[in-house]
Amino acid sequence: MSIKGPAIFLAQFVGSAAPFDSLAAMARWAADLGYQGVQVPTNDPAFFDLEKAAASQAYCDEMAAVCAAAGIQITELSTHLQGQLVAVHPAYDELFDNFAPAQLRGNPKARTEWAVQQLKLAAKASARLGLKAHATFSGALLWHLMYPWPQRPAGLVEQGFAELAARWLPILDAFDEAGVDVCYEIHPGEDLHDGATFERFLAATNNHPRANILFDPSHFVLQQLDYLDFIDRYHSRIKMFHVKDAEFRPNGRSGVYGGYQNWVDRPGRFRSLGDGQVDFKSIFSKLTQYGFDGWAVLEWECCLKDSAQGAAEGAPFIQRHLIQKASKAFDDFAGGAASESRNRRILGLE
């Protein structure tokens, strides 16, 4: 089993002008750049109709066919924006209302109910498309409490994760019924933003088998986490991979928190592939070592380089890092026949 790719996440490229205004046109655009797969956002029904996909096998077959005609596979669906709305602290209501349909804005309860339903639709749509993993965000009830000042009351964090788990358990069960893994992007701004918070969530969901990870090393660079050790610790739960670069260059003015500065001025910022500090050779090696056989999906986010250049450079970058897993040991030529009796002689037992 080997990592598949290259693929590209379409969310940052979708727009009103051709070729970015339809899935069929974007599939051809991606194929022309050398990609073999596309990860599809589901927040715009004009681009991909999630409700129709959940209800209609014919629609899913049509969407898969238009991509296949260009030589492209749909790798996963994404509900990042809808997942965010499963759990929103009131301090963020105004900002995150943009992620919801206009008629639900200003109504947090209805907005959450809609988001939960969107995730359940995504489970059905993913199953109809024959997909095994799904990309999303966890949302956040506790992010405003990330720094322990003022002192947090005893039990507050546990109660927050219990509530988060209660909201997600019916969704996780729906994905389990569909045979699809939920892959939370471990991301600042989400309650699941590092290994410790993911462990808390797992415990609160009774280690639900469908609660898994979308691994994106760029967010670990910005938090100053060891992304290689993260793979060692959580590889069994890593079911998706965003190939995204970043850099962290602190100075005497600002560091991890960024000083409220715009992206281009922050010490930690996202970069196009190869322009940052992420050690992708080691990441691809570790993922291959642990048998990860999902897609390597470019997510382009860069405050300096244009998206067209980032997309064009991304496919060959990923292709260079793909590893065809060894089918035999390099020293097999020097080995001999194996048997229990021979092993006993070698051990001096006969």
pLDDT score recorded for residue 136: 98
Beta-carbon count within 10 A of 60 CB: 22
Distance (Å, whole) CA 296 – CA 118: 25
Torsion sign over Cα 310, 315, 320, 326: positive
Torsion sign over Cα 127, 129, 135, 140: negative
H or E segment to which residue 113 belongs: helix 108-128
SS3 245: strand
**Distance of alpha carbon 27 from its chain centroid, rounded?**
20
SS3 193: coil
273-311: per-residue pLDDT in tens? Answer: 999 999 999 999 999 999 999 999 999 999 999 999 999
Domains and CATH numbers, the chain: 4-346 (3.20.20.150)
Cis peptide, bond prior to residue 6, ω within 30 of zero: yes
144-182: per-residue pLDDT in tens? Answer: 999 999 999 999 999 999 999 999 999 999 999 999 999
pTM of the model: 0.96
pLDDT score recorded for residue 350: 82
